[in-house]
């Protein structure tokens, strides 16, 4: 059942969890350009886990770094993500989902199924009654549709190159969905190889903010 924290509970969660994300981003600041570091700093300063926009703000630079560098310490963020309640607002939780998806992709690509297990079971946490379970355990058609790209929409039409913050946020909407779709991994049209190619192109377009190999 969705959780509805009080204002004080949200304030306490923000005070505890946002600094942990800031510390993780600081650890990976070499992946970011000067502009990217400013983007990450602003994110941690403006973040508010009590709302959808504030949660998205916090996790956008996380998603950028995690997709660009595929760091194995991404699971340090589970201590944050596991604490963020599902309030009934799917938009609010979407960038938490995307962080789990990015982690699952990282560990799967590295051949580490044991570390991939937790993020896999958290992918559909809201739909699975806030339980750790297979992503498709709920049997909801919406999950299948999303795996096939139903939420991607116009996010894939991001500016190339993405040199402004609004352009980067547009691009990260696509990166979010591609990570999620990759993790669900059932689409015949959106194969993992195809998504990997799209992610490489997206990161190249975001080179004003993040270094690419």
Query: What are the tens digits of pLDDT across the range 140-194?
Result: 888 899 999 999 988 999 999 999 999 999 999 999 999 999 999 999 999 999 9
Cα angle 21, 25, 26 (rounded to 5 degrees) comes to 115
Average pLDDT of the segment spanning 189-206 = 97
Lowest mean pLDDT among 76-85, 108-117, 125-134: 125-134
The answer to whether residue 48 sits within a structural domain is yes
Q: Helix-strand-coil percent breakdown of the chain, rounded to 5? A: 65, 0, 35
Token pair, residue 194, equals: 């195809």
The packing angle between helices 165-184 and 52-69, to 10°, is 70
Average pLDDT, rounded, for the chain: 94
Confidence of residue 135 (pLDDT cuts 50, 70, 90): confident
The answer to whether residue 210 sits within a structural domain is no
The answer to whether residue 40 sits within a structural domain is yes
The answer to whether residue 212 sits within a structural domain is no
Lowest mean pLDDT among 45-54, 106-115, 145-154: 145-154
If one counts the domains in the chain, the total is: 1
Whole-prediction pTM:
0.95
Token pair, residue 6, equals: 């009080």
Residue position matching structure tokens 């993040």: 210
Fill in the DSSP letter of residue 130.
Answer: S
The answer to whether residue 153 sits within a structural domain is yes
Instruction: Name the residue range of residue 82's domain.
Output: 7-205
Beta bridge partner(s), residue 210:
32
The answer to whether residue 197 sits within a structural domain is yes
The answer to whether residue 211 sits within a structural domain is no
With CA atoms as reference, report the closest residue to 127 among 148, 153, 147: 147
Average pLDDT of the segment spanning 34-56 = 96
Share of the chain above pLDDT 70, in %: 99
The answer to whether residue 93 sits within a structural domain is yes
Tell me: pLDDT of 139 over 80: no
CA 5 vs CA 21, 43, 84, 130: distances in Å: 20, 22, 10, 15
Average pLDDT of the segment spanning 3-8 = 89
């Amino acid at each position: 059942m969705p959780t509805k924290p009080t204002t004080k509970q949200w304030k306490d969660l923000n005070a505890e969890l946002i600094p942990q994300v800031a510390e993780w981003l600081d650890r990976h600041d070499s992946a970011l350009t000067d502009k990217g570091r400013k983007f990450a700093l602003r994110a941690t300063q403006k973040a508010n886990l009590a709302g959808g926009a504030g949660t998205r703000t916090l996790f956008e630079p996380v998603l950028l770094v995690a997709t660009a560098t595929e760091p194995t310490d991404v699971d340090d963020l589970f201590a944050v993500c596991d604490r963020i309640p599902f309030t009934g607002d799917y938009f609010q939780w979407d960038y938490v989902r995307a962080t789990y998806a990015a982690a699952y992709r990282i560990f799967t690509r590295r051949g580490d199924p044991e570390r991939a297990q937790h993020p896999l079971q958290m992918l559909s946490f809201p739909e699975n009654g806030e339980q750790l379970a297979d992503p498709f355990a709920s049997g909801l058609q919406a999950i299948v549709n999303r795996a096939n790209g139903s939420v991607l929409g116009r996010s894939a039409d991001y500016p190339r190159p993405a040199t402004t913050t609004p352009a980067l946020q547009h691009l990260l909407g696509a990166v979010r969905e591609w990570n999620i779709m990759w993790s669900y991994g059932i689409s015949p049209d959106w194969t993992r190889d195809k998504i990997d190619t799209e992610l490489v192109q997206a990161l190249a377009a975001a080179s004003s903010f993040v270094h690419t190999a």
